[in-house]
């Protein structure tokens, strides 16, 4: 079965690509290799995938001309490509064009496919807003341009299902970490600071934030569990994460214990749009997708450390 993955050179997309290819699927991908974070890291991810025979098209979904270059016999689309995070360096136009316009262009392509079984949109807990502890039926209250535009992308996808134009679902991911995590994310940055005697930039109040830190291997299991369940998933939203809840301080403690060191901090003003609490309510995913995350924080951080040392 041919599967298209957008944002395939990224953190989670590359892991999903590897997993699906190991199951015998014909995986192809597209990525614009944005310089939002290290292009070198994305190139390393892409090299691993290419070495396994996975084809990658370097192109931008915001360019409508790209659509004609995508394969015409795709059975599944996993849509990861997006402008991530809440960085001050990202403009509203960055979020709008990448997350909304890019998604609409991809949908234009998907609607022409006669082979498509399911369009899987990759959403985020940021859609819920400052507190993401709810079931999928709760009205979203995003508090960042990232959350707002990811919600818009999600609704663009699902409205096509409501109109019976295609089958789709959206997966809202929670605080993913593990090997290949972006350099600007918590655990990669903590490991870098702990191993290389650097100072960690700490936003005021963030040590008390609560998170559903979910290892990427558990996320991959949740994402790929939708395959073969088109009738169950169509038009649905699923939270994918762990029910375990940790403070950011506990995340710091886990890294310090593993490295047997104390990390230095430089306090910064609070960051607008930062979520105060995420706790994945996965009752729906557990029931309909048989989703059951198992990796502990200690196990996950140890896996990420092994990757970081090799990197």
Asked whether residue 144 falls in the same domain as residue 36, the answer is: yes
Per-position b or e across 121-154, b if 16+ CB within 10 A of its CB: bbbbbbbbbbebbbebeeebebbbbbbbbbbbbb
Q: Let me know: does 235 contact 162? Beta carbons within 8 Å.
A: yes
Q: Is residue 165 part of a domain?
A: yes
pLDDT band, very low/low/confident/very high, at 205 (cuts 50, 70, 90) = confident
Higher pLDDT, residue 271 or 108: 108
Q: Which residues contact 23 (CB under 8 A, 6 or more apart)?
A: 224
User: In this model, does residue 87 exceed pLDDT 90?
Assistant: no
What is the CATH number for 139? 3.40.50.720
Predicted structure pTM score? 0.96
Residues 108 and 233 in one domain: yes
Q: State whether 25 and 52 are in the same domain.
A: yes
Nearest to 178 by CA among 10, 29, 7: 10
Tens digits of residue pLDDT in 107-132? 999 999 999 999 999 999 999 999 99
Pick from 80, 227, 70: nearest CA to 153 = 80
CA angle 1, 282, 21 (to 5 degrees): 20
Higher pLDDT, 287 or 275: 287
pLDDT band at 253 (very low <50, low <70, confident <90, very high): very high
Same domain, 188 and 101: no
In this structure, is residue 148 part of a structural domain?
Answer: yes
Q: Are 256 and 307 in contact (CB under 8 A)?
A: no
At residue 274, the pLDDT reads: 82
Residue 198 lies in a domain: yes
pLDDT score at 272:
80
pLDDT for the residue 198: 96
Q: Are residues 152 and 195 in the same domain?
A: no
Give φ, ψ of 186 to 5 degrees.
Answer: -55, -60
Element (H, E) at 119: strand 118-124
* 127-146 residue pLDDT tens: 999 999 999 999 999 999 99
Is residue 164 located within the same domain as residue 266? no
The pLDDT of residue 106 is 98
* Domain-located, residue 12: yes
The residues that are catalytic are: 146
Q: What pLDDT score does 135 carry?
A: 97
Q: Are residues 17 and 146 in the same domain?
A: yes
Banded model confidence at residue 271, pLDDT cuts 50, 70, 90: confident
Query: How many percent of the chain have pLDDT more than 70?
Result: 100
Please tell me whether residues 205 and 168 are part of one structural domain. no
Indicate whether 285 belongs to any domain: no
Q: Which residues contact 141 (CB under 8 A, 6 or more apart)?
A: 128, 129, 130
pLDDT at 96: 98
| 200 shares a domain with 153 | no
Give me the pLDDT at residue 216, please. Answer: 98
Owning domain of residue 193? 177-211+244-280+295-310
The candidate with the shortest Cα–Cα distance to 273, out of 119, 90, 113, is 90
Q: State the Cα angle at 35 between 8 and 216, rounded to 5°.
A: 40
Q: Is residue 87 part of a domain?
A: yes
Residue 5's contacts (CB-CB under 8 Å, 6 or more residues apart) are 13, 16, 17, 20, 27, 28, 29, 30, 77, 78, 80
pLDDT above 90 (res 228): yes
169 and 253 belong to one structural domain: no
Average pLDDT value for residue range 275-300: 97
Check which CATH number belongs to the domain holding 254 and give it: 3.90.25.10
Cβ atoms 284, 135 nearer than 8 A: yes
Q: Are residues 189 and 97 in the same domain?
A: no
| pLDDT digits 0-9 by tens, 165-195 | 999 999 999 999 999 999 999 999 999 999 9
Given this model, what pLDDT does residue 273 score?
78
Q: Distance between CA 190 and CA 267 in Å, rounded?
A: 14
How high is the pLDDT of residue 86?
83
In whole angstroms, give the CA distance from residue 44 to residue 153: 28
How sure is the predictor about 85, in pLDDT bands with cuts at 50, 70 and 90?
confident
**Domain presence at residue 287:** no
Alpha helices for 142-229 (secondary structure H): 145-162, 186-196, 216-224
Give the total number of structural domains in the chain: 2
Is 105 domain-assigned? yes
**Same domain membership, residue 10 and residue 88:** yes
Inform me whether the pLDDT recorded for 288 exceeds 90: yes
Q: How confident is the model at residue 244, as a pLDDT?
A: 95
- Residues 6-47 pLDDT 10s: 999 999 999 999 999 999 999 999 999 999 999 999 999 999
Examine the pLDDT at 311 and tell me if it is beyond 90: no
């Amino acid at each position: 079965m041919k599967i298209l993955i957008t944002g395939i050179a990224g953190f989670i997309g590359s892991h999903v690509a590897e997993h699906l290819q190991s199951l015998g699927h014909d995986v192809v991908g597209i990525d614009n290799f944005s310089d939002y974070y290290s292009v070198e890291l994305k190139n390393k991810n892409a090299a691993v995938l290419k070495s396994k025979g996975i084809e990658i098209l370097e192109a931008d979904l915001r360019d409508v001309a790209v659509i004609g270059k995508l394969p015409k016999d795709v059975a599944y689309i996993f849509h990861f490509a997006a402008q991530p995070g809440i960085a001050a360096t990202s403009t509203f136009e960055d979020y709008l064009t990448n997350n909304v316009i890019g998604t609409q262009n991809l949908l234009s392509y998907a609607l022409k496919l006669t082979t498509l079984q399911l369009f899987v949109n990759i959403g985020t807990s940021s859609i819920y807003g400052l507190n993401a502890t709810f079931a999928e039926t709760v009205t979203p209250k995003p508090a960042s341009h990232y959350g707002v535009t990811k919600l818009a992308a999600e609704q663009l996808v699902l409205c096509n299902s409501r109109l019976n134009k295609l089958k789709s679902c959206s997966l809202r991911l929670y605080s993913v970490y593990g090997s290949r995590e972006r350099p600007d994310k918590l655990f990669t940055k903590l490991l870098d600071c702990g191993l290389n005697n650097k100072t960690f930039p700490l936003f005021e109040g963030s040590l008390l934030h609560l998170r559903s830190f979910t290892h990427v291997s558990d996320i991959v299991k949740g994402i790929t569990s939708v395959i073969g369940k088109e009738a169950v998933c169509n038009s649905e939203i699923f939270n994918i994460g762990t029910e375990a809840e940790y403070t950011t301080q506990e995340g710091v403690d886990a890294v310090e214990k593993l490295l047997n060191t104390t990390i230095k901090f430089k306090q910064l003003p609070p960051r607008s749009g930062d979520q105060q609490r995420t706790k994945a309510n996965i009752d729906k995913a557990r029931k309909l997708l048989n989703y059951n995350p198992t990796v502990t924080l200690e196990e996950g951080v140890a896996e990420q450390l092994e990757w970081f040392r090799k990197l």
